[in-house]
Amino acid sequence: MSKKYRVAVVGATGAVGGEMLRVMERRNFPVASLRLLASARSAGTTLKFQGQDIAVEPLGVNSFEGIDVALFSAGGGISREYAPVAVKSGAIVVDNSSAFRMQENVPLVVPEINGGDVAQHKGIIANPNCTTVVTLMALYPLHQKFRVKRIFASSYQAVSGAGARAIEELKEQVKAVAAGHAVQPGIFPHQIAFNVIPQVDSFLETGYTKEEMKMQNEGRRIMHLPTFKASITCVRVPVYRAHSVAVSAEFEKPVNVSEARAAIAAFPGLQIQDDTVAPSYPMPLGAAGQDDCFVGRLRLDCALENGLAFWVCGDQLLKGAALNAVQIAELL
């Protein structure tokens, strides 16, 4: 990568935007210049990149002049409005929102799984949902080995998946409960401290939430597997960082645990943590801040034919968002 690129980050002051900057810095992404964009209220604040203070600019229609790559992480509405503006200005957009994920002419990419799809872009490449990424990282090498038919899963999703203000809400609620004070929910529909909320995103007519359907809909596109089925219950838990998912997967071929373990261990971006004696298994505390996803609790599923149960943890701000976006930009 001898060439250097003029990069813009939209939503630079958010939780994922900040991670994007740290990931680019850590991976020595070839940045010739960096433009940090956010809402008018954040404009004027400065963020550090490679030891330099860079002022945040207000996002506008002229923000993408001379930009090669624009990383978006500011919500679907902003992406729908400004991603086409960026493309028109000559930039390639890597979008972290749900705005373009199901559009046929927009590749939906996890580099380790379907990195070749980036070649088909028409200016915009979509970053998948964070829970979907973490789950598919563990599922895909198993699919390659045994051909997946369907999964049943429950997610245990950290509050940081709902943004920086959600992290503050958990902190404040923990303090309030400890002091014996009443708790006022804000970001979440109910108290999140010392509680779990079986709702992530809004409900659909089927009774599933939008978040829950992303696993099946996005999984089909990423794995190029239109027959893939996924029944998920997504749960918000009082964890600051890193999502966990309990998965029961059913395959076409007979499953062997040692072969499954070998397939996962050989796959880039995955680590096995599976020792029932120690005991050792993935936990969000250990996965937080790590680029890799961690897989454990591997066992034959006693309720499914050709079934395998496993547990996967991954940092949804990194592999589930910022890291995956920067990896897509690296592929470009």
pLDDT, position 44: 87
Three-state SS at 176: helix
Average pLDDT rounded to a whole number, residues 139-150: 98
Structure tokens at 71: 């990383």
**pLDDT tens column, 207-226:** 999 999 999 999 999 999 99
Please report, for residues 34, 37, 267, the alpha-carbon distance to residue 104 in angstroms, rounded to integers and kept in the order given: 30, 28, 27
Q: What pTM, to 2 d.p., does this model score? A: 0.96
Element containing residue 258 per DSSP (H, E): helix 257-265
Give the orientation angle of helix 130-146 with respect to helix 257-265, to 10 degrees.
Answer: 120
What's the average model confidence in pLDDT over 308-321?
97
Domains and CATH numbers, the chain: 5-127+322-331 (3.40.50.720), 132-316 (3.30.360.10)
Average pLDDT over residues 108-123: 98
Q: Catalytic site residues?
A: 130, 243
**Could you write out the DSSP letters of every residue in 281-292?**
---HHHHTT-SS
